Structure 1
């Protein structure tokens, strides 16, 4: 079953970004992930303000693939750079409808 990473990222420093994008792209693909959206073009249409500079959606073939990516030792320094250089929120969502 597909899983989706949904992230809200607001950089607090810019120095980590150029070195992050290439390796993250490669590692996401290596773990079977596919970027569905990665953009600063978004708007909140409901709820209390939850501002973020970027919204990112990644589709994974499984929960295991998503977690393998997050736990990948090669990704660890890039994850550290992102979390230290931004305000980041990452949700992993199972691709199912519990209310159907």
Structure 2
């Protein structure tokens, strides 16, 4: 079953960004992930609140693949840099319709 990472990221510094993109892309691919969106082009259609600078959606082949990515040794230092240099929220969503 597919799972989806949905991230909201607002950088507080750009020091980490240049070194983050390529190795993170490789680590996502290594664990079978596929970027569906990495963009600052988004708009709120409902609700109120602060909008992040970036929204990212990654499709994973399984929950285990997403979890393995988060602990991937090649990714961990980049995750740490992003965590320290941004306000980020990461949600893992099961690709199912519980209301069907």
Which band: TM-score by shorter chain?
Answer: over 0.9
- Gaps of at least 5 residues in structure 2 are none
Counterpart of 2:34?
34
Q: Secondary structure at the match of 1:24?
A: helix
Correspondence for 2:81: 81
- How far apart are the structure 1 equivalents of 2:48 and 2:3? 26
1:50 Cα deviation (Å)?
3.1
Q: How many residues get paired?
A: 100
Aligned mates of 2:17, 2:6 — CA distance in 1: 18
TM-score (norm 1): 0.98
Q: What is the CA distance between 1:34 and its match in structure 2?
A: 0.2
After superposition, the C-alpha distances for 1:15-49 in whole angstroms (9 at most, x for unaligned) are 10000000000000000000000000000110122
Superposition pairs for residues 1-100 of structure 1, below 5 Å? Answer: 1-100=1-100
Q: TM-score, normalised by structure 2?
A: 0.98
Pairwise CA RMSD of aligned residues?
0.6
1:53-76 deviation per Cα after TM superposition (whole angstroms, max 9, x unaligned) = 000000000000000000112211
